[in-house]
Chains A and B, each alone.
Chain A
């Protein structure tokens, strides 16, 4: 990908995304991308202290924008929770941001991705970060294949369909 770099905005919907990136050693690389990530403080609260320490520097630089609960977010949770008992307060808090800012969401959880698609929200798995690293030539195709495998080792349940597709795409 060449020419003008387009800034991308995306909402991290579950802490699982950050756990995936941390376990696969991809946090630094994810923040080299021209991406502004959005999330909520309740999602960040779901990380352990080691993981929080990895992400807090990016909260400070505002590349990771962490929003707190407000009346609007509360209203969204109050509206959708009775309709979708399968979703958590955190899931709905980020759904609120995605709706308000018209953002796609990044989720590690396969069930959550399905729900977001039902709600007409564009939902991507953590593998999207690796695709973007390769698209922006931060890594070679071969390295992307290795990173796919690393993410799969970190989270064996992560988006099997994306994993097969990515493996084919980034084959040596």
Chain B
């Protein structure tokens, strides 16, 4: 029962209950005893543990699991409307996934190796330095300047753990470290273009040292990094030209489809690189404002980006194929039912 106090507090907060409310739901434990459990001053007996499990609606092994993932500082790409309770719930989902991910790696005795492509966290203080850092990453990861076929796959191949979850609309993504493991979390409810951009924005947070007092400015640096990864400067200039006074929607859509970057981001890229001036950029923003989510551009969506981790699925299949764990345990580690696991394992059987 390592980390029992933290697990108890976390499960209670997930329910949004006070100590008194939890005591009321359990029925056989006082608020004072619960407080002592949460402070680590007392350990519950097995029957009390069972009662807590039932009251909190968690699985039997929730309090029995030995490890507890400690998330590093979290860099959120979110809207201000993300509520505290939603943040706590997201953190719990991420911990749950990472605990399962790390347990799979431990059972298989494999480990992700992350080597920072910039040799270490690089301090940037200008947009030019951000552009240079993005170019270095593309070069180090041998991506060239062609469209990145699948951002999630590239990140995983280079030792970054990527997790996609169904989050509230106010959440885009986040980056954090778990020990030496860099982790990027994405909201799978968003479009492929947006997930690609967010994933690379979060990569910016992981790789760059941005010492600016203004948080919004830091976010702009990471936006710039993501844009430079998806549409490198020389590609943008080649596709759009050095200076333009008018660009058709068709041109933006063509780039969106080919490079997996939103029209909004291409417009911004054109402005950042001086291809269009501020007035024209503002005109384009107003013109496209009713369609900011680009829902009517569906047929120009990028094909190829995945909405889930490949590595996680592959490791899970390996666990079952190599008879390392039971199917039921594999289903638990995969966060799915046995029935769903069987569909994955034997998609054509039956």
Contacts and interface: CB of A to CB of B under 8 A. Distances in A.
A19 to B, nearest CB: 5
Contacts of B340: 48
Contacts of B46: 71, 74-75, 78
Nearest to B322: A111
Contacts of B91: none
A88 B329 contact: yes
Interface stretch (B58-66, B113-121, B204-212, B241-249): B58-66
DSSP class of B's interface residues: helix, strand, loop or mixed?
A: helix
B326 A91 contact: yes
Nearest to B65: A81
Contacts of B329: 85-88, 91
B350 interface: yes
Contacts, number: 113
Interface stretch (B71-79, B188-196, B341-349): B341-349
Contacts of A89: 59-61, 332
Contacts of A87: 325-326, 328-329
DSSP class of A's interface residues: helix, strand, loop or mixed?
A: helix
B328 A91 contact: yes
B327 A111 contact: yes
Contact of A155 (B59, B61, B349): B349
Interface residues of A, number: 41
A74 B326 contact: no
A93 to B, nearest CB: 8
A86 B107 contact: yes
Interface of A: 14-16, 19, 23, 43, 45-48, 51, 69-71, 73-75, 77-78, 81-82, 85-91, 93, 108-112, 114-115, 153-157
18 contacts: A15-B337, A15-B338, A43-B328, A46-B339, A47-B337, A48-B337, A69-B54, A71-B46, A74-B60, A77-B61, A78-B46, A81-B61, A86-B107, A87-B329, A89-B61, A89-B332, A111-B324, A156-B346
Which 9 pairs across A and B sit closest by C-beta, in order of nearness?
Answer: A46-B338, A15-B338, A88-B328, A88-B329, A112-B326, A74-B50, A109-B327, A48-B339, A111-B323
